Chain A
């Protein structure tokens, strides 16, 4: 998406008349940015500020408050690994460790090819399937460490040596 397209998206969002106050379009606008850009940059925030007539600092405040908005560049796929209580009791921490091992990153980091960002995450309400992992909007439940290579390959992971192993 280009910045101009983004501007038009916000305008058409406002035309839907969902809220009686301009400022309420803040989170929906940030969501459009989150889904269409690698990061919510200053430039993007400035567009939101102009279109909603809200001071830039208030856009910044909102963009940095919420855990799901990325103001630093994220990978094409965001992998969220829950380690909250039920997932922890069922091995969530091992899953996080194994994913980090396979992708050679630490929690919070993005792989150098820009494909994956790995996040240690709080409860996602999937606790009956603990340990739970999500990749963008896909869910994986009762995940075992041995399931991970298959899951990652679906999203273009090339294997530990950089080539798809059989």
Chain B
């Protein structure tokens, strides 16, 4: 496929405004401001069928329409650059290599929805990205793409970076908003959704980095063109970050709906040492695991949901036959225990219980009853307050269901069968 989202990244100084401008950069903003009304922009984005790349897949055009319809002022546009999902590093690529695509996408979104101020909520672990974004924002001000009366129009927009400080939960949009307000990053109840009551309870659009990087393309080439790429009910190019036991870990841009097997074997070069593939988490740490028989699935929102898992951030994490699934799921649930904000009981206690039980099994001290307890705890965790707790048990429960033999082997042997020493 022609590179669309990654069209600039191999060029020299790809993150400078000169490089961006020389490849047609900011022409979409010009087109939107000069030739289109805010309503036209929203129509075009709706026609494209673009769905949010932060993981939930909500239609972007519809979100913008809700925000545009709210009359409270001022409105805020926030880019979610918290990228905390384990093994997800796709947004980092855009931030570091093509920051102007993100800024241009934000500008067009802010124009469409009537937002006057914008923030990029950047995870604290991306200091390199922060410097690059700061420079890019400075360049955009210098050229008159940010600030008052942009390109001589009535539209004004100021953009700032807000650094997070190491908290996965702040990727959840309402926790992010609390963090932007200077509080602990605890989620708020939804609804009201941020489009109506976000930052300082004013209308706030929150969009993921990759979502925004699609916008200049859609305005440049049109929603109909965009809708013809990839899966019909969730179109467009998609960035898949692939890591773990593959020969060529990295970010691959492919049409939405590319089969998982193709991503692993053709693009990421297959399994290290040509070993056998054992298991794949197809959409980050919160997704349910797939076995080697299940990897022909198209990588898009509806297909993965049908397969009992989810696309999430699109982060493909690959395990080979020498890796222990019990240990892998233990590491992931430990992550969620560490990151649970502690606000609600099912998540705070559930993640702790799961860590203790899976640790016990991994050490060879578990019993068969433990497996039933895991399933019980998981059904309680479904009632958590936010998406973190609702999904945290997925890697463990799916591993127990699909690799039950391996769990039983730990229990029967009284040790991990994969430990070398």
| Nearest chain A residue, comparing its CB with the CB of B130 | A137
How many residues of A are in contact with the other chain, CB < 8 A? 42
Closest to B179 in A: A27
Which residue of B is nearest A16, CB measured?
Answer: B160
- Residues of B near A86 (CB, < 8 A) are 86-87, 243-244, 249, 317
Residues on B with beta carbons closer than 8 Å to the beta carbon of A83: 331
Please measure, in the bound complex, the distance between the C-alpha atom of A128 and the C-alpha atom of B83, giving whole angstroms: 15
Q: Are B86 and A85 in contact (CB under 8 A)?
A: yes
Q: Is B182 an interface residue (CB 8 A)?
A: yes
Choose among A28, A58, A66, A90 the residue with the greatest number of B CB atoms under 10 Å from its CB.
A66
As a 0/1 sequence over residues 310 to 330 of chain B, the CB contacts with chain A under 8 angstroms (1 = contact) are: 000000010100010001100
Are A128 and B250 neighbours in the complex by a CB distance under 8 Å?
yes
Interface residues of B (CB under 8 A from A): 74, 83-89, 92, 117, 123-128, 160, 162-168, 179-185, 200, 241, 243-245, 249-251, 281, 285, 317, 319, 323, 327-328, 331-332, 335, 338-339
Chain B residues whose CB sits within 8 angstroms of the CB of A34 once the complex forms: 165
**CB-contact partner of A85 in B181, B182, B249, B332, under 8 A:** B332
A contact set with B: CB distance below 8 Å: 18-21, 23-28, 30-31, 34, 52, 54, 58, 61-62, 65-69, 83-86, 88-90, 122-130, 134, 137, 139
In the complex, A133 Cα to B245 Cα: how many Å?
Answer: 18
- Output the least CB separation between A98 and chain B (Å): 16
Contact B128 A137 (CB under 8 A): yes
Q: How far is the CA of A161 from the CA of B37 in the complex (A)?
A: 70
User: A128 contacts which of B89, B164, B179, B181 (Cβ < 8 Å)?
Assistant: B89
Q: What A residues does B164 contact at CB under 8 A?
A: 27, 66
Given A125-B83, A125-B123, A128-B243, A23 and B184 touching (CB < 8 A)?
no
- Expressed in whole angstroms, the Cα–Cα distance for A124 and B88 within the complex equals 9
A85 touches B127 (CB 8 A): no
**Contact of A125 with B332 in the complex, beta carbons under 8 Å:** no
Residues on A with C-beta less than 8 A from B83 are: 125
20 sample A-B contacts, Cβ–Cβ < 8 Å, listed by A number? A20-B74, A23-B182, A23-B183, A26-B182, A52-B182, A58-B182, A61-B184, A66-B166, A67-B165, A67-B166, A83-B331, A84-B285, A85-B317, A88-B328, A122-B335, A123-B335, A125-B92, A128-B89, A128-B251, A130-B243
- When distances are taken between beta carbons in the complex, the residues of chain A under 8 Å from B185 are 65-66
Q: Smallest distance from the beta carbon of B17 to chain A beta carbons, Å?
A: 22
A-B Cβ contacts below 8 A, count: 129
Residue of chain A at shortest CB distance from B185: A65
User: Which residues of chain B have C-beta atoms less than 8 A from A52's C-beta?
Assistant: 182
Among residues of A, the one whose C-beta sits closest to the C-beta of B131 is A137
- Alpha-carbon separation in the docked complex, A28 to B124 (Å): 11
CB distance from B134 to the nearest CB of A (A): 13
Task: Please give, as numbers and ranges, the residues of chain A lying within 8 Å of B183 by CB-CB distance.
Answer: 23, 26, 58, 61-62
For the complex of A and B, the 7 pairs showing the least CB-CB separation, nearest first, are: A26-B182, A67-B166, A66-B165, A68-B166, A23-B182, A127-B243, A86-B243
In the complex, the chain A residue whose C-beta lies closest to that of B160 is A18
Smallest beta-carbon distance A132→chain B, Å:
10
Check A69/B243 contact, CB under 8 A, given A84-B335, A85-B86, A126-B89.
no
For A89, give its contact among B162, B166, B323 (CB under 8 Å): B323
| A69 and B165 contacting across the interface, CB-CB below 8 Å | yes
Contact A84 B87 (CB under 8 A): yes
CB-based nearest A residue for B165? A66
Q: How far is the CA of A137 from the CA of B319 in the complex (A)?
A: 30
**Once the chains bind, are A124 and B125 in contact (CB under 8 Å)?**
yes
Please state if A125 and B200 are interface contacts (CB–CB under 8 Å): no
Q: Is the CB of B88 within 8 A of A125?
A: yes
Q: How far is the CB of A6 from chain B (nearest CB, A)?
A: 17
Residues of A within 8 A of B182 (CB): 21, 23-27, 52, 54, 58, 62
Contact B244 A85 (CB under 8 A): yes
Chain B neighbourhood of A21, CB < 8 A: 181-182, 200
* B243: chain A residues within 8 A (beta carbon): 86, 127-128, 130
